[in-house]
Structure 1
Amino acid sequence: MTRPPAGRPCWPGADLDPTAPPGTEPAAPQRVRGVLEADVTVVGAGLAGLSTAYHLAERDPSLDVLVIDAEGPAAGASGRGTGLLGPRVGPPVDQAVRRFGPDTARRMHLASTEAVERVRELCARLGVPTGPRDGEQIVATRTADGLAALARQAAAYRRLGLDVTVLSAAGIRDRLDVPYHAGLLYRAAGLDPAALSGALAGACAAKGVRFLGNSPLLTLRPGETAADTHLVFPGGTVRTRKAVLAVNAAAGPLGLPVGTVLPLLVHAVATAPLPAEARELLGGRTGCALIDAHPLAPYFRLTPDGRLVLGGGRPVLPPVSDDSGSAAVWAGLEERLRRLHPVLADTEVTHRWAGRIGMTSDGLPVVGPLTDRPDVWYVGGCCGHGLALSVAHGAHVAEALTGGTPERLPWHRSRAPRLPLPAPARPLLRAGLGLMERSARRAA
């Protein structure tokens, strides 16, 4: 079987230019040239940056908001996810209780479920489909260690008074014909992440937000006054009163004082549209997605047109000299896909792609102003859960920058823990990721 070309997600939204007027050909975005000015400049046109710009324009239409991206809207990780919209932030709930206390752990879970609802509401407003209203997501296991871990999480949810359903193997089989032993059931949805990014960009443009692209941020420096920041790009400089740096794992190369947000390349594959019988067996009736509880083990969902999207496997730590690492991960995903169910044995894989996420050592995002720079905010490090969290973060930052007093997020902070990652340590990190993947393969 011929392997599909790498790089293109299966999402129809990935082919759109959301800022182009209807009926016109996509045009290359204008770059930063000379010296420009703005009230608020958002660097990064992913979901976090676009959500920030959208909510800024909603809250104060008089603001001159400028969005600048190294490429263009939806070009990065926000247009390359697997479209799983479910509640999750930080470590599993039992670990969160031990590390942060029961009150904070409860607030973290509730904030993540609220983030899912925010995305649903936004998608309804922008006309982006999210699947059935009663969509579900199962975090499941087929190992003894996994059963023990899910039992601890279920007990923690009960103690915190949180309603999370425990599923037996039969309960999982009622939804998905896969041999898992037990799981936890969450309200969730699935969507085209590129379409959401594109719809947000289009809505921002309709509200007067300006866009510039093909302009990677080089550095930032203080302006002539305390309320003035200069953002430096290859073609010019932007003088801005306030800035939001939604640059995720690019924080490290930029030298931002936000701790370590590690760039990891994660992978996915998608099949051709499945026959009706296969769709029924793999969640087509219930709109149910499944995430294996073991780290790096595969997870999957169906798309509205009947494709099965499967992600997981060993993340790749950039930079890489070639695509051999990604090729090995894709091959492993295709192998797991065919073992998932007999109906998939001969299914054609039509898409393979990867996207870069930002990871922190404690699993929590960074959302807050830079140290000693209250008018410059950083947003990033969602650790693979950015579809729900990024939209919520954008609304939170927009409220803070327009004089509101948003309820403090449980993970509101200006920096993540710092990891010393000199060049000699990177092979050790890569080896650790490889060990985790081999463990996940044994569990499967």
Structure 2
Amino acid sequence: MLPPRTPRPSLNGTISADIAVIGAGFAGLSAARRLSQLDPKLKVVIVEAGEIAEGATGRNSGFIIDLPHEVSSEDYSGSDGDERRHDIKVHRLAIALARELATEKGWGKDIFDACGKYNVAMGPQGDKHVVSYAKQLEKIREEYCLLDAKEIASVTGTNSFTSAIYTPGTVIIQPAAYIRGLADSFGDLVKLFENTPALSFERQGTSWRIKTPNGVINAGKIILANNGQAQSFGLFRGVLLHVYTYASMTEAFTPARLGGHRSWAATPAFPMGTTVRRVPGEAGDRILIRSRYTYNPGMQVSDGAIARAGRIHDRKFEARFPMLKGVQMQYRWAGAMALTWNGVPAFGEIEPGIFAAIACNGVGATKATASGIAAAEAALGVDSWLVDVFRGFAAPKRLPPQPFLTIGATANLSVKEWSAGLE
């Protein structure tokens, strides 16, 4: 949906850096931004295997969420030392970086919109969850607004939703435009090379030597921000679950065909349900549908898998927007997530001078941003609250052996999707 851009050149030759960042997604670019803030004289190099915003980051659904989907855990009323109790504050630090960037760039709501989000229900089961969630938010004194069927219809333009809860803290972004802008925000001392995969790295005295197809980087430290691809270096084997989620977006339609607001974003009442966005544009409006999860240990998705997910999206779209009959899906895609069995990030100094910001466990725009900030601070020895929180997480739990892992992961995802029902 954005105009084409010319990618930055790939690396040719040998260069040196204080810190090299591998991966230019939410985590890697946020880490580089934080590094440049902490020490503007620091020489930072970023290498990206593909092109900016062409991967999963640019295809993100665009929610930078402040509140977890569930806040009923005892963790949120426990002691100050409980790591889970800090989730909301961590998320809001990520939003603060995004807001600072948006202000610096002078972005409008087409790229950065602090509009909040809706959790929507499609039946009695979802309605109960909405009410339960409101009670949870009440206990931790978070702002919210409950909407009945008529009220949420006035927002979405459809009578398909039976209730909703609105929370104001979520920011909605145009993910590809956001990540392009973040990549363009650095000073001259941050060098970014696209189409430059890091093939390997090895210790050379007190520094690290990173090999790329046509060049070498000699760096004092490395921040790994390439999520599941960290396994390409032999790291985190046996602890990362590679799960793909799928989305479809309609062709542009005349805004008059659908009432309500022209821009809104909704997550489902149940975590494994269906996310929906209405995206306005000059050529018309579009609806984004995100649903379906699969376990893909080989980190590849077939055209057939995307087609099967697309058929599910079509049914969900028709059930929610019968007034848009005849509007076709123009785009379909899949995006990778790296999860751990116990839901913790793979974070920290894994070898002297190598810092990991891996495994966001979903809500990638938020959690990956936060982990990138924390990795940057840790790499520079900054003693921050955020670093303490990330260091406080348990180690990722080892996964069961195959074939039990594939059988269990696939069954677990299927049961959770089935439990979401209409949602």
Q: TM-score, normalised by structure 2?
A: 0.86
1:291 and 2:267 matched: yes
Structure 1 gaps of 5+ residues are 1-10, 20-28
Q: Identify the residue that residue 193 of structure 1 maps to in structure 2.
A: 175
Q: Identify the residue that residue 193 of structure 2 maps to in structure 1.
A: 212
The answer on whether the counterparts of 2:114 and 2:172 sit within 8 Å (CA) in structure 1 is no
Q: Identify the residue that residue 365 of structure 2 maps to in structure 1.
A: 387
Q: Identify the residue that residue 345 of structure 2 maps to in structure 1.
A: 365
Q: Identify the residue that residue 92 of structure 2 maps to in structure 1.
A: 113
Q: Deviations over 1:137-179 (max 9, x none)?
A: 1112234443444444333322222223333334423422343
* In structure 2, C-alpha distance between the alignment counterparts of 1:104 and 1:166, rounded to whole Å: 29
Q: Identify the residue that residue 19 of structure 2 maps to in structure 1.
A: 40
The answer on whether the counterparts of 1:141 and 1:180 sit within 8 Å (CA) in structure 2 is yes
Q: Identify the residue that residue 25 of structure 1 maps to in structure 2.
A: none
1:307 and 2:289 matched: no
Matched to 1:16, the amino acid is: R
The answer on whether the counterparts of 1:128 and 1:196 sit within 8 Å (CA) in structure 2 is no
Aligned equivalent of 1:406, options 375, 380, 384? 384
1:203 and 2:193 matched: no
The answer on whether the counterparts of 2:223 and 2:376 sit within 8 Å (CA) in structure 1 is no
The alpha carbon displacement at 1:195 in A equals 1.1
Q: Deviations over 1:90-132 (max 9, x none)?
A: x621136389768644421233234224312212212443458
Structure 2 gaps of 5+ residues are none
Q: Partner of 1:280: helix, strand, or coil?
A: coil
* In structure 1, C-alpha distance between the alignment counterparts of 2:130 and 2:365, rounded to whole Å: 24
Q: Partner of 2:305: helix, strand, or coil?
A: helix
Matched to 1:12, the amino acid is: L
The alpha carbon displacement at 1:341 in A equals 1.7
Matched to 2:181, the amino acid is: A
Q: Partner of 2:331: helix, strand, or coil?
A: strand
* In structure 2, C-alpha distance between the alignment counterparts of 1:121 and 1:82, rounded to whole Å: 21
Q: Identify the residue that residue 226 of structure 2 maps to in structure 1.
A: 247
Q: Partner of 2:246: helix, strand, or coil?
A: strand
Q: Which is worse superposed, 97-106 or 391-400?
A: 97-106
* In structure 2, C-alpha distance between the alignment counterparts of 1:347 and 1:277, rounded to whole Å: 13
* In structure 1, C-alpha distance between the alignment counterparts of 2:118 and 2:323, rounded to whole Å: 21
Q: Identify the residue that residue 26 of structure 1 maps to in structure 2.
A: none
Identity %, equivalent residues: 23
1:12 and 2:12 matched: no
Q: Identify the residue that residue 23 of structure 1 maps to in structure 2.
A: none
Q: Deviations over 1:12-48 (max 9, x none)?
A: 16x32364xxxxxxxxx32465x54211000001121
Q: Identify the residue that residue 158 of structure 1 maps to in structure 2.
A: 138
* In structure 2, C-alpha distance between the alignment counterparts of 1:61 and 1:331, rounded to whole Å: 49
* In structure 2, C-alpha distance between the alignment counterparts of 1:315 and 1:415, rounded to whole Å: 24
1:355 and 2:335 matched: yes
The alpha carbon displacement at 1:318 in A equals 4.4
Matched to 1:401, the amino acid is: A
* In structure 2, C-alpha distance between the alignment counterparts of 1:366 and 1:165, rounded to whole Å: 35
The answer on whether the counterparts of 1:242 and 1:376 sit within 8 Å (CA) in structure 2 is yes
Q: Partner of 2:52: helix, strand, or coil?
A: coil
Matched to 1:398, the amino acid is: A
Q: Identify the residue that residue 322 of structure 2 maps to in structure 1.
A: 342
* In structure 1, C-alpha distance between the alignment counterparts of 2:343 and 2:359, rounded to whole Å: 8
Q: Deviations over 1:36-93 (max 9, x none)?
A: 421100000112111211222233222111111222322321111122232245x621
The answer on whether the counterparts of 1:129 and 1:191 sit within 8 Å (CA) in structure 2 is no
Q: Which is worse superposed, 264-273 or 412-421?
A: 412-421
The answer on whether the counterparts of 1:106 and 1:160 sit within 8 Å (CA) in structure 2 is no
The alignment covers a number of residue pairs equal to: 413
The answer on whether the counterparts of 1:18 and 1:198 sit within 8 Å (CA) in structure 2 is no
Matched to 1:194, the amino acid is: A
1:274 and 2:256 matched: no
* In structure 1, C-alpha distance between the alignment counterparts of 2:149 and 2:280, rounded to whole Å: 26
Q: Partner of 2:60: helix, strand, or coil?
A: coil
1:123 and 2:105 matched: no
The alpha carbon displacement at 1:234 in A equals 4.5
The alpha carbon displacement at 1:245 in A equals 0.2
Q: TM-score, normalised by structure 1?
A: 0.82
